[in-house]
């Protein structure tokens, strides 16, 4: 049996990370892919746990080597999914979750048409804006880029198999759980 590939996308600040953390507590058998990025670590982020933090030249060499399943530039940094751990987990029959932005989700849809693609929506744009601004970890310029990108991503929501509105957290979590494990 091979595992399923699940793609979770949604604008920055929508709460994907918090939903996934809670989902993995319920289902430790799920494997969350750890991405590589050229973004600097936020406070509390740990190398190899939240991301692999690469300098740009190393990231570009990794692209060249064909070692990424997908990659994209987002708000001025590279982000990508190392292919090997994903392949290994799928081969072992484990489901793998990729938490990635829109361009990456589109690449995965081409390579793995059977991947389950889920889009997380905010209750409304104002809520999202507040969440991004209050996170307080990004520069003003980065916040503006993330807000602009959020509009682009939300406009593409219909490309996804399922959409979940993250308004009531527990309801959103139950729905995600049902889709991922169903
Ligand atoms: P953040 O900087 O907030 O951690 O992530 C910014 C955006 O990059 C988020 O939308 C996140 O889902 C996305 N992202 C994280 N890892 C990857 C990846 O490996 N590939 C792609 N395409 N996007 C990613």
> What is the CB neighbour count within 10 angstroms for residue 157?
15
pLDDT: which is higher, 60 or 129: 60
Length of the chain: 182
Residue with CA at minimum distance from ligand 1 atom 22: 104
94-103, pLDDT tens digit by residue?
A: 999 999 999 9
Query: What share of the chain has pLDDT > 70, as a percent?
Result: 99
39 CA: nearest ligand 1 atom: 2
The CATH fold assigned to 5-181 is: Rossmann fold (3.40.50)
26-71, pLDDT tens digit by residue?
A: 999 999 999 999 999 999 999 999 999 999 999 999 999 999 999 9
Sequence spans of domains, the chain: 5-181
User: Computed from CA positions of residues 85, 24, 49, 166, in that sequence, does the dihedral angle turn out positive or negative?
Assistant: positive
The model's pTM is: 0.95
Binding pocket residue ranges, ligand 1, CB within 6 Å: 12, 35, 39, 70, 72, 74, 79-81, 99-101, 103-104
Residue with CA at minimum distance from ligand 1 atom 11: 100
Question: Strand pairing partners for 175?
Answer: none
Pairing status of strand 77-82 against strand 36-37: antiparallel
């Amino acid at each position: 049996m091979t595992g399923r590939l699940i793609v979770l996308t949604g604008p920055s600040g929508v709460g994907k990370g918090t939903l996934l953390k809670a989902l993995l507590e319920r289902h430790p058998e799920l494997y969350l892919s750890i991405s590589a990025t050229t973004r600097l670590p936020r406070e509390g982020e740990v190398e190899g746990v939240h991301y692999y933090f690469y300098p740009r030249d190393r990231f570009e060499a990794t692209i060249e080597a064909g070692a990424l399943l997908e990659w994209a530039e987002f708000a001025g940094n590279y982000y990508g999914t190392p292919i090997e751990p994903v392949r290994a987990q799928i081969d072992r029959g484990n489901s793998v979750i990729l938490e990635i932005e829109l361009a990456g989700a589109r690449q995965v849809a081409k390579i793995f048409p059977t991947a389950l693609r889920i889009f997380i929506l905010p209750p409304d744009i104002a809520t999202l804006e507040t969440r991004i601004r209050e996170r307080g970890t990004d520069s003003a310029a980065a916040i503006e880029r993330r807000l602009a990108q959020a509009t682009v991503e939300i406009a593409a929501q219909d490309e996804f198999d399922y959409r979940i509105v993250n308004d009531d957290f527990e309801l959103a979590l139950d729905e995600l759980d049902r889709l991922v494990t169903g």
